[in-house]
Amino acid sequence: MLDRDERAYRKAMSDRSTVLLVEDHRELAASTGAYLEAAGFLVDYAQDGLNAMHLAVTNDYDAIVLDIGLPGVDGLEVCRRLRRDAKSAVPIIMLTARDQLDDKLSGFDVGADDYLVKPFDMPELEARLNAVLRRRDIDAFRESYAIGDLTLDVATAQVKRAGREIRLSKTQFELLRLLMRESPNVVSRERLERHLWGEEPPDSDALRSHLYNLRKAIDKPFDEELMETLPGRGFRIRA
Ligand code: CA
C-alpha cells in the first residue's frame, strides 16, 4: 500500500498537467491556450507537425491537443508516428473540422483517444482533457514492466530482481520507471531531470547521485548489468 508521503508525492507530481497544443490557426491557438492556462494547465505550442513531433518526443506531456489540418505533416500522421515510431502512450485529443467526418474515424485508427469537432466550446475541451487525464491516471496505476529478471509495478510500488524485492527511494523509483518505460531506448540526462524536477532541477550532481544509487540497488548484487550509461547520450535499461 502507498503511505501518506507517497500519495502526497504523486499529487505534487501531477499537480499541473502539461499540454502540447498543436494548431496552425494563430487566433484559435491563442484563445485555446489562454483558456487552458487559465484552467490551470501548463501549455506548450506547436504550429506544424514536425515541430509538434519534436516537442512531443523531447518532453513528457500529460496530453496533446492535435489539430488534424496542419501544414506539412498533418495531425493524423503526427499521431500515427507518435504511437508507432516513438511508442508514445500520451493521451491525444484530435481537433477536426465539421466536414472532415472521415478524419474522426481515421483519428481512432491512428491511435487518438478522443476528438472534438470545430468550432468547439472551451469548457468542452477542458472536460475532454480532464477525462483522458483521469483515464491515463487509472492506466498509470496499472502500469508494470518486466525486463529480463527485473520487474517494476506502479500500483504496489514494488521492484524485484530475480524474485528478490529491491527497496528504492521515491526518486530512484521514478527514474527506473521512466528508464523501463523507454527501454531499450536511451533517455537523456535532460529528460530524466525534467521527469523528476520539471524545469527547475536542483543541481547537476543530484541526478548523478540518484543514478549511482539506483545502479547500486538494481545491478550491484547481480551478475548481469541492466543499466547502461552511453556517454554524451544518456542512460538506458538493456532489453
Ligand atoms: Ca488547421
Instruction: Identify the CA nearest to 116 among candidates 35, 61, 103.
Output: 103
**pLDDT for the residue numbered 82:** 94
**pLDDT for the residue numbered 8:** 42
Q: How far is the CA of 68 from the centre of ligand 1 (A)?
A: 6
144-237 shares the fold of 4-140: no
Cell readout for 161 is: 530482481
Q: Is the Cβ–Cβ distance between 61 and 70 less than 8 Å? A: no
**pLDDT for the residue numbered 5:** 47
Rg, C-alpha atoms of the chain: 19
Q: How many CB atoms lie within 10 A of CB 108?
A: 13
Q: How many CB atoms lie within 10 A of CB 150?
A: 23
Q: How far is the CA of 116 from the centre of ligand 1 (A)?
A: 13
**Which residues of the chain are under the pLDDT cut of 50?**
1-12
Q: How far is the CA of 134 from the centre of ligand 1 (A)?
A: 27
- Report the C-alpha gap between 123 and 141 in whole angstroms: 27
Out of 3.30.420.40, 3.40.50.2300, 2.40.50.140, 2.40.100.10, select the CATH number for domain 4-140. Answer: 3.40.50.2300
Q: How far is the CA of 67 from the centre of ligand 1 (A)?
A: 6
Q: How far is the CA of 130 from the centre of ligand 1 (A)?
A: 23
Q: How far is the CA of 70 from the centre of ligand 1 (A)?
A: 5
Q: How far is the CA of 83 from the centre of ligand 1 (A)?
A: 21
Q: Domain 144-237: which topology?
A: Arc Repressor Mutant, subunit A (1.10.10)
Q: How far is the CA of 80 from the centre of ligand 1 (A)?
A: 17
Q: How far is the CA of 8 from the centre of ligand 1 (A)?
A: 40
Q: How far is the CA of 86 from the centre of ligand 1 (A)?
A: 23
Domain spans, the chain: 4-140, 144-237
**pLDDT for the residue numbered 239:** 84
Q: How far is the CA of 207 from the centre of ligand 1 (A)?
A: 40
- Report the C-alpha gap between 222 and 219 in whole angstroms: 5
Cell readout for 3 is: 503511505
pLDDT digits (tens, 9 = 90+) for 113-166: 998 999 999 999 999 999 999 888 777 777 899 999 999 998 889 999 999 999
Average pLDDT of the chain?
A: 88
Q: How far is the CA of 46 from the centre of ligand 1 (A)?
A: 12
**pLDDT for the residue numbered 104:** 67
| Beta bridge pairs of residue 159 | 152, 166
Q: Cα dist. 64→73, 117, 152, 166, 221 in Å?
A: 16, 16, 27, 35, 41
User: CB-based burial of residue 213 (10 Å sphere; 0-12 exposed, 13-18 middle, 19+ buried)?
Assistant: middle
Q: Is the Cβ–Cβ distance between 52 and 78 less than 8 Å? A: yes
Q: How far is the CA of 69 from the centre of ligand 1 (A)?
A: 4
Instruction: Identify the CA nearest to 25 among candidates 98, 159, 99, 119.
Output: 119
Q: How far is the CA of 47 from the centre of ligand 1 (A)?
A: 9
Q: How far is the CA of 74 from the centre of ligand 1 (A)?
A: 9
